[in-house]
Amino acid sequence: MGMKIGLFVPCYIDAFYPGVGIATLELLERLGQDVTYPTEQTCCGQPMTNAGCVSDSAAAEALFVKLFSGFDAIVMPSGSCTHHVRAHFDAIEQTDAVRHVRANTYELVEFLHDVLKVRDFPWAEFPHTVGLHNSCSSLRALRTASMSELGEPAFSKPKTLLSGVKGIRFATPARPDECCGFGGTFSVTEEAVSARMGLDKVRDHFHAGAEYIVSADSSCMMHQQGCAERNHVDIRFIHIAEILNGARQ
Amino acid sequence: MREKPVNHAGAAVAFIADKPHLDFHDARLWDMRQKRDAQMHLLPEWQDLRSRASAIKEHALANLADYLEEFERNAKSNGIHVHWAADGAEHNRIVAEILEARGARTLIKSKSMVTEECDLRPYLAARGVTVTENDLGERIQQLDDQMPSHIVVPSVHKLTSDVARIFARSYGTDPNADDPHQLAEAQRLAARPVILHADAGMTGGNFFVAETGTFVVCTNEGNADLSATVPGVHIATIGIERVVPRMADLGVFIRLLSRSALGSPITQYTSHFRGPQDGSEMHVVLVDNGRSARLGMADFWTSLKCIRCGACMNTCPVYRRSGGLSYGAVYSGPIGAIIDPTFNERKYSTLPYASTMNGSCTNVCPVKINIHEQLYKWRQVLVEHHQMPFVKREIMHMAGKLMGQPRLYRAAINGTETALGTLPRFALYNWLNPWGKNRELPAPVKETFHSWYRRNRPTAGKATPETVKTETKA
Ligand code: SF4
């Protein structure tokens, strides 16, 4: 039997992309895990901390620890929230519970790849060409894929997982690990640069032949989709959890 | 009145609106990044070199006073005059005095970021000294009365047609002749007589070596050598952090510098200077200008490892799309954003926010400065020092409170909440408004995940193992 897993669904997924939360939950259940979504959850505290307002994230962090410290593992379909919990949960006193939460929080892809070690998704089929977008948190903080800056041997956990899906094909954008420009509050305080980066990103995938951009981070995709729609770039978006859970489109 | 912070975001709007310049700038710098990658792939020891470079710099900085004194001793015995400048004003005074003592009225100068920091040119101009920059890019910037927009390629934001216009204005050349070779030739013709007749020469310095009392200047145009060979006097201005302990250390940096900067294996010229020519003087001015203070900053001192290669700028997606001038500072891009606030916290308080903290800069940096982590840290310092705009500070405060209260938070998500903190609603919406300027909003959904879960897993999620205990107690 699986572990006792606490599911964290980031605020923007809860509010705008409920399907991603559902896919994550169903996928983990399909894989035999005992998953609970504590319904009192709010946010991991990242928006405040990234803005520099560390003390303002204390309440969110404390609530998070209260709700999740009883689980064996905490899983979330978001690289940046995972990175925040793991690396920046510093606004509150570091009790055993806090340390437990920090050490046992996983982003969905790394949980599937490293902990459950799933490679086949026989129920999944996605006969489309996809461009894979790794958020900068996933790529450079969680290291779920190799980064071009380091010249290291190529690896990609999300691609390894997606390769277990029937019919899927991959497009190769020219600048695969350039940031898409979301950046949290950066998206409003530096609106022009942010939107331009997003547009360049979706065009890069489009020109590489991608029908879909697939990512483990909905926040990047929310931004990219906004840029694509405004500029009539004909490309669709889907979270990796949805493909792995067998979404048909 | 308090100084206004640099409006990076506003300057970026204008930069982005000019498509030909934006596209060229982005492509040119990305090309440099790719050439850097290609060089990296040719050296299996790349990561090892970065680690060594970082370790040597950290060691040198940790023992800075000793190495500086060692350099001074050895340089003096090589016949070099060594001067110490605590700040820009002292630096400029020292340089002016050296020139005055020799009655020098014309100075030919090769590129140096430290002299930009000290604002040397206007200071000398006011004292009747004509300064001519002889690095092509820097000269273009001088003629256009702009700061360098990049620390390695100072006029990278300009198209050749811009340069043709500037040269036409200054040199009387054809404003429509924008062939790069012709432009370089025009500059050569204009500069040559100045170089031949200059009273004094000035360079910067990429490294100075404690063990030998020598210094090294790396250029691609040989302009430092032209400045240095002007008979009479050679003044070199160098920041105190540029010391390396031994000559043997230098190889590590020379191998990394040009590969990181331009993606070429080495600069065309790597010139070692060890003493004056016969009948001439050589002066080294070692500049602090805030460096010792920075060395004492626990979270930021490693920024002094910087060898000014510009790789972090080339890779930075924000820099490429906003241009160096948008930072309103001598140092732009990621490295600028972490050192500029040490010069003026208020004025440059916006720069650590001109970043998505994506971390590409940190991973290309040849001396492994944790740039994006310092950006993250700077934001905390700026908030502590009350440098965040009021509305944003209030929004963060309000959001922080909301996130700690599940019921209020739920109400806010469902749009049924009425009393959101103290900030008027329009302030929040005004602040969020820019999202929709160049981007669509996500489509509304029928049901949040939260309510789906309550409908579909009605018995689950009420409490976790931990909260059962705490709640029964209460
Ligand atoms: S911070 Fe690093 S990458 Fe940037 S200019 Fe300095 S040495 Fe080069």
- CB contact under 8 Å between A48 and B437, yes or no, is no
Each residue's pLDDT, cut to its tens digit, for chain A (249 residues) gives: 568 999 999 999 999 999 999 999 999 999 999 999 999 999 999 999 999 999 999 999 999 999 999 999 999 999 999 999 999 999 999 999 999 999 999 999 999 999 999 999 999 999 999 999 999 999 999 999 999 999 999 999 999 999 999 999 999 999 999 999 999 999 999 999 999 999 999 999 999 999 999 999 999 999 999 999 999 999 999 999 999 999 988
Residues B277 and B421 in one domain: no
Q: Please, which residues have CB within 8 angstroms of residue B231's CB and are 6 or more apart in sequence?
A: B277, B279, B280
The whole-chain average pLDDT of chain B stands at 92
Tell me whether residue B280 is in a domain.
Answer: yes
Ligand 1 lined by B312 (C-beta under 6 Å): yes
Tell me whether residue B246 is in a domain.
Answer: yes
List CB contacts (< 8 A) between B22 and chain A: 196
CATH number of A4-115: 3.40.50
Which of A16-30, B427-441, B458-472 shows the lowest mean pLDDT across its residues?
A: B458-472
Distance separating alpha carbons of residues B252 and B364, to the nearest angstrom: 16
pLDDT at residue number B281: 96
Which 8-state DSSP code applies to residue B352?
G
- CB contact under 8 Å between B439 and A195, yes or no, is yes
Own/partner contacts of B298-303, CB < 8 Å, gap of 24 or more, are B299/B374, B299/B377, B299/B381, B300/B338, B300/B339, B300/B342, B300/B374, B300/B377, B300/B378, B301/B61, B302/B58, B302/B61, B302/B369, B302/B370, B302/B374, B303/B335, B303/B338, B303/B339, B303/B369, B303/B371, B303/B374
- CB contact under 8 Å between A196 and B321, yes or no, is yes
pLDDT at residue number A41: 95
Residue B463: pLDDT over 80: no
pLDDT at residue number B455: 95
Tell me whether residue B260 is in a domain.
Answer: no
Residue B472: pLDDT over 50: no
Distance separating alpha carbons of residues B70 and B252, to the nearest angstrom: 21
Q: Alpha carbon A34 to chain centroid distance?
A: 21
Length of chain B: 474
Q: Which two tokens stand for residue B382?
A: 């700026």
- For residue B258, the tally of other CB atoms under 10 A from its CB is 21
- For residue B69, the tally of other CB atoms under 10 A from its CB is 11
B287 CA distance to ligand 1 centroid (A)? 19
Distance separating alpha carbons of residues B44 and B141, to the nearest angstrom: 38
The shortest CB-CB distance from A195 to any of B357, B438, B448 is to: B438
- As a whole-number percent, the residues of chain B with pLDDT over 90 amount to 79
Q: Return the SS3 of B166.
A: helix
User: Is residue B138 within a helix (H) or strand (E), and if so which, with residue range?
Assistant: helix B136-143
Percent helix, strand, coil in chain B, to 5, is 55, 10, 35
pLDDT tens per residue, range B139-179? 999 999 999 999 999 999 999 999 999 999 999 999 999 99
- For residue A211, the tally of other CB atoms under 10 A from its CB is 18
Q: Return the SS3 of B192.
A: helix
Name the β-bridge partners of A5: A35, A73
pLDDT at residue number B470: 37
The shortest CB-CB distance from B461 to any of A38, A43, A178 is to: A38
The sign of the dihedral angle between the CA atoms of B202, B208, B209, B213 is positive
DSSP chain A: ---EEEE---HHHHHH-HHHHHHHHHHHHHTT-EEE--TT----SHHHHHTT-GGGGHHHHHHHHHHHTTSSEEEES-HHHHHHHHHH--SS---HHHHHHHHTEEEHHHIIIIIS-----TT-B--SEEEEE--HIIIIIS--B--TTTTPPP-BHHHHHHTTSBT-EE---SSTTS--S--TTHHHHTHHHHHHHHHHHHHHHHHTT-SEEEES-HHHHHHHHHHHHHTT---EEEEHHHHHTT---
User: Is residue B107 within a helix (H) or strand (E), and if so which, with residue range?
Assistant: strand B106-109
CA of B138 vs chain A CAs: smallest distance (Å): 27
Distance separating alpha carbons of residues B297 and B305, to the nearest angstrom: 13
Tell me whether residue B165 is in a domain.
Answer: yes
The sign of the dihedral angle between the CA atoms of A60, A65, A66, A68 is positive
Q: Which residues of B295-310 are buried (b: 16+ CB within 10 A; e: fewer)?
A: beeeebbbbbbbbbbb
Tell me whether residue B88 is in a domain.
Answer: yes
The sign of the dihedral angle between the CA atoms of B113, B117, B122, B127 is negative
Nearest Cα residue to atom 2 of ligand 1: B365
Name the β-bridge partners of A73: A5
Nearest Cα residue to atom 7 of ligand 1: B306
Tell me whether residue B354 is in a domain.
Answer: no
Q: Please, which residues have CB within 8 angstroms of residue B129's CB and are 6 or more apart in sequence?
A: B96, B99, B104, B105, B106, B107
Q: In the β-sheet with B130-133, what is the strand arrangement from edge to edge?
A: B81-85, B281-287, B233-239, B200-203, B106-109, B130-133
Q: Return the SS3 of B179.
A: coil
Query: What one-letter code names the amino acid at B439?
Result: R
Identical fold at A4-115 and A129-244? Answer: yes
Residue B415: pLDDT over 90: no
Q: Are the C-beta atoms of residues B279 and B231 closer than 8 Å to each other?
A: yes
More confident residue, B426 or B200: B200
CATH of A129-244, one of 1.10.275.10, 3.40.50.11810, 3.40.50.720, 1.10.490.10: 3.40.50.11810
Tell me whether residue B132 is in a domain.
Answer: yes
End-to-end CA distance of chain B: 53
Residues B424 and B276 in one domain: no
Q: Domain boundaries in chain A?
A: 4-115, 129-244
Q: How confident is the model at residue B425 (pLDDT cuts 50, 70, 90)?
A: low
- Looking at the 3D structure of chain B, how many domains does it have? 2
The shortest CB-CB distance from A140 to any of B353, B359, B438 is to: B359
Which of A72, A56, A122 lies closest to B395 in space, CA to CA? Answer: A56
- For residue A125, the tally of other CB atoms under 10 A from its CB is 15
Which structural domain range is residue B419 located in?
406-473
Ligand 1 lined by B311 (C-beta under 6 Å): yes
CA of A41 vs chain B CAs: smallest distance (Å): 6
Mutation probe of ligand 1 site: the residue of B367, B372, B374, B375 with most atoms within 8 A of C-beta: B367
Q: Are the C-beta atoms of residues B318 and A180 closer than 8 Å to each other?
A: no
Distance separating alpha carbons of residues B379 and B387, to the nearest angstrom: 9
A187: phi then psi, degrees, rounded to nearest 5 = -65, -25
Instruction: Give the pairing of strands B214-219 and B130-133.
Output: unpaired
Q: How confident is the model at residue B474 (pLDDT cuts 50, 70, 90)?
A: very low
Distance separating alpha carbons of residues B28 and B113, to the nearest angstrom: 21
Tell me whether residue B54 is in a domain.
Answer: no
pLDDT at residue number B378: 98
Q: Which two tokens stand for residue B181?
A: 């070779």
Q: How confident is the model at residue B11 (pLDDT cuts 50, 70, 90)?
A: very high
